[in-house]
Amino acid sequence: MVVLTGLTELVARLRAEGYRVVGPTVRDDAIVLDEIQSADELPYGYGVDAAPGRYRLRRRGDAAAFGHSAGPQSWKQFLHPPRRQLWTADRDGGSFTVTEPANPDERLALLGVRPCDLAAIAVQRRVFGEDSDYARRIDQAFVIAVNCTEPAEVCFCVSAGGGPRADTGYDLALTELANSRYLVEIGSETGSALLSQVVYAPAEPGDIATANDQIRTAENRMSRALPDTDLPGLLRRAAESPHWDDVASRCLTCGNCTMVCPTCFCTSVVDTTDVTGDHAERWQGWASCFDLDYSELHGGQVRTSGASRYRQWLTHKFGTWHAQFGQSGCVGCGRCVAWCPVGIDVTAELTALAATSDIDQPVPS
């Protein structure tokens, strides 16, 4: 393992190779993900105080670039864009021709992917499949993970299996040490090739132990956990639990949790025409299972009550995702807890359901 001092050269090298480098930066009092021109734009010295329904930047005592937890955005912003054109169509005599947009030849470099988000990328890849634009985008991307040494109060990646150490799915993985030094692990040949073009030093004695200690400390600082039980079974049994009404009495059905969730993938399409009626377009955009029209059928909506919509979100994420995609839909990043305007905490709701479902409920008929 080697050590980089500063990330200036790494970012410059990636840009020279034609990558569009996306990383964390400060905007509007939050750590957002955006294209950066240089490593100077990283959020040095910023930390985050997060709690249910709360997210505030704070100044750290050091100049750490990655001393903050997950922000309001995730990498799905770039890998599964909030809005994209699927095709355009033009009338052509009595028929019409459909044209798909050319695949952008853009190669992304994702700088600072936390292990929870790395796990989320793998979850979304599983949803969309290997023969998907998503898989192509991530395969073309250069991924620089950052092991988590700074969980937030809302995080629960350890119990969700999402972190705090990156195991796989990266080209390079960094662990931030003191004084802008980064311990680098190589995850791919692409990563190795890029690293060979920048100045690095061999790791000093103690660097690896320090990095491991920091990650272990992060693991031990995890203040939240999912209940240690069979969640798909629990949620199946709890389908008619009165607890859903309890959550619904607090939930605003705003859908924030689904927007910030790094694995939520639902989309709707909108078909439009211009004023001539001769040019049509189809756009795809993120959708939320909290939207009323999400479950629309010709006779109305299937899920009208807030309780049924909250049940759909929680049951899908922790229960039926297993049946659909062979794994959990949650990586424990804590975003849904922080960005819920009323501070609903999925770990607390699941724990409450687990407590009440010990009593065998009759199967409704």
Partner 1 sequence: MTTTPYTMTPLRYRVVARRPDTADVVTLDLDPLGSPVQSWAPGQFTMVYAFGVGEVPLSVSGGEGHRIVHTVRSVGAVTAAICVAPVGTVLGVRGPFGHGWSLPDRGDLVLVGGGIGLAPLRPLVRTVMARRHRFGEVDLLVGARTPDDLLFTDEYDRWRESGISVHVIVDRAGRHWSGQVGVVTSLLDRLRLDPEITTSFLCGPEIMMRVIARNLTDRGLTAGQVQVSLERNMRCGYGVCGHCQYGPLMVCRDGPVTDYATAEPLMAVREL
Of residues 16-55, which lie at the interface with partner 1 (CB under 8 A)? none
Token pair, residue 181, equals 């030094």
Does 287 engage in binding with partner 1 (CB under 8 A)? yes
Taking the least distance from each CB to partner 1, the nearer of 9 and 281 is 281
Taking the least distance from each CB to partner 1, the nearer of 16 and 363 is 363
Among the listed residues 345, 346, 360, the one whose alpha carbon sits nearest the alpha carbon of residue 241: 360
Task: In angstroms, give the least distance from the CB of 234 to partner 1.
Answer: 14
Task: In angstroms, give the least distance from the CB of 89 to partner 1.
Answer: 7
Task: In angstroms, give the least distance from the CB of 310 to partner 1.
Answer: 11
Q: Where are any strands of DSSP class E within the chain?
A: 2-5, 19-27, 30-35, 46-51, 54-59, 83-92, 95-99, 107-113, 142-146, 172-176, 181-186, 201-202, 267-273, 279-286, 296-297, 300-301
Does 240 engage in binding with partner 1 (CB under 8 A)? yes
User: According to CB under 8 A, which one of 89, 248, 348, 352 is a site residue for partner 1?
Assistant: 89
Residues 6+ apart with CB under 8 A from 36: 11, 21, 22, 23, 25, 42, 111
Task: In angstroms, give the least distance from the CB of 305 to partner 1.
Answer: 6
User: According to CB under 8 A, which one of 188, 229, 284, 361 is a site residue for partner 1?
Assistant: 284
Task: In angstroms, give the least distance from the CB of 120 to partner 1.
Answer: 16
Cβ–Cβ contacts within 10 Å for residue 18, how many?
10
Among the listed residues 289, 300, 239, 244, the one whose alpha carbon sits nearest the alpha carbon of residue 267: 289
Q: Which stretch binds partner 1 (CB under 8 A): 87-95, 139-147, 170-178, 351-359?
A: 87-95
Q: Which stretch binds partner 1 (CB under 8 A): 57-65, 102-110, 191-199, 283-291?
A: 283-291
User: Per-residue x/- marks for partner 1, 124-143, CB under 8 A?
Assistant: ---xxx-xx-----------
Does 102 engage in binding with partner 1 (CB under 8 A)? no
Is the CB of residue 29 less than 8 Å from the CB of residue 72?
no
Task: In angstroms, give the least distance from the CB of 185 to partner 1.
Answer: 33
Token pair, residue 83, equals 């809005």
Of residues 160-199, which lie at the interface with partner 1 (CB under 8 A)? none
Of residues 298-337, which lie at the interface with partner 1 (CB under 8 A)? 298, 302-305, 307-308, 312, 315-316, 319-320, 323-324
Cβ–Cβ contacts within 10 Å for residue 210, how many?
16
User: According to CB under 8 A, which one of 2, 32, 135, 280 is a site residue for partner 1?
Assistant: 280
Taking the least distance from each CB to partner 1, the nearer of 61 and 277 is 277
| Per-residue b or e along 245-258, where b marks 16 or more CB atoms closer than 10 Å to that residue's CB | ebbbeebebebbbb
Residues 6+ apart with CB under 8 A from 76: 120, 124, 262, 263, 264, 265
Among the listed residues 189, 75, 195, the one whose alpha carbon sits nearest the alpha carbon of residue 138: 75
Q: What is the C-alpha separation between 44 and 137, in angstroms, rounded?
A: 28
Token look-up 């997060």 returns 50
The residues binding partner 1 (CB under 8 A) are: 86-87, 89, 91, 94-96, 98, 100, 127-129, 131-132, 239-240, 265-269, 271-273, 277, 280, 282, 284, 287, 289, 294-298, 302-305, 307-308, 312, 315-316, 319-320, 323-324, 363-365
